[in-house]
């Protein structure tokens, strides 16, 4: 590039080279890691979408492992990959095995997402569902309670997403009602189902 110089107060053009390092740029190794991760993650999600859970598991497990090689700030990619793996395991009815993965995804998101984030609410719902499926009703109840309150906060904070978040809240309320039924709290279960009908988008 050409920049001005002033020898003897007379401006002249001088050609020079300047090397700029942008902190936001990705290194070659990071680019390779991201490309590998997204390729495998797409294959995982495609198999899940086609209800091929057994075939999806190795790919989803690989995606979760590849997410660990991403930069430390790639929290959402990491939690998403781990949560997807948990879903695949859960949908094969290996409930206890899915729980540590759901819990890890929640732990990652708790340190990154805001407390009124609907995706954080889904993390709590996932953990609650897994606890319920393994018979730990007390922890399932506690997780669903946080999921419901977080969904409500998300709707209040972002009204433009109300339809989407309301559907997800309805699902959480109905799941929570099932836990209350299992706990022998029929009245509380009925109240939750009533709330679900009133939430409608």
- The more confident residue out of 190 and 7 is 190
Q: What is residue 25's predicted lDDT score, i.e. its pLDDT? A: 60
The whole model's pTM is what?
Answer: 0.84
The tally of CA atoms less than 13 A away on the side-chain side of residue 178 is 16
36, burial (CB in 10 Å: exposed 0-12, middle 13-18, buried 19+)? middle
Per-residue pLDDT tens over the stretch 67-115? 999 999 999 999 999 999 999 999 999 999 999 999 999 999 999 999 9
Q: Which two tokens stand for residue 161?
A: 């997403």
What confidence score (pLDDT) does residue 200 get?
67
Main-chain dihedrals φ then ψ at residue 68, nearest 5 degrees: -70, -15
**Mean pLDDT value across residues 30-38:** 92
Maximum C-alpha span of the chain: 93
- Which alpha helices (DSSP H) does 51-136 contain, by range? 53-67, 75-91, 95-110, 118-133
The H or E element spanning position 13 is strand 12-15
User: Can you tell me which residue has the tokens 């609410």?
Assistant: 121
Domains and CATH numbers, the chain: 28-94 (no CATH), 113-201 (1.25.40)
Residues 6+ apart with CB under 8 A from 155: 161, 162, 165, 166, 169
Query: Can you give the pLDDT at residue 190?
Result: 98
CA distances from 137 to 78, 122, 177, 178, 190 (A): 28, 18, 12, 10, 17
Phi, psi of 73 (to 5 degrees): -80, -5
């Amino acid at each position: 590039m050409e920049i001005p110089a002033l020898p003897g107060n007379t401006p002249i053009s001088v050609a020079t080279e300047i090397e700029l390092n942008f902190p936001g740029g990705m290194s070659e190794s990071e680019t390779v890691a991201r490309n590998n991760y997204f390729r495998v993650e797409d294959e995982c999600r495609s198999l899940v979408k086609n209800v091929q859970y057994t075939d999806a598991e190795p790919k989803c497990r690989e995606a979760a492992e590849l997410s660990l090689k991403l930069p430390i700030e790639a929290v959402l990619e990491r939690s998403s990959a781990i949560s997807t793996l948990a879903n695949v395991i859960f949908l094969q009815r290996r409930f206890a095995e899915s729980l540590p993965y759901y819990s890890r995804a929640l732990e990652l998101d708790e340190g990154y997402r805001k407390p009124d984030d609907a995706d954080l609410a889904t993390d709590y719902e996932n953990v609650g569902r897994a606890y319920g499926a393994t018979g730990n009703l007390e922890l399932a109840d506690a997780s669903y309670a946080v999921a419901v309150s977080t969904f409500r906060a998300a709707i209040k904070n972002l009204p433009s997403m109300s339809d989407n978040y309301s559907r997800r809240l309805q699902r959480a309320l109905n799941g929570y009602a099932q836990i209350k039924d299992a706990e022998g709290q029929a009245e509380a279960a009925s109240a939750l189902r009533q709330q679900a009908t009133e939430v409608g988008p």
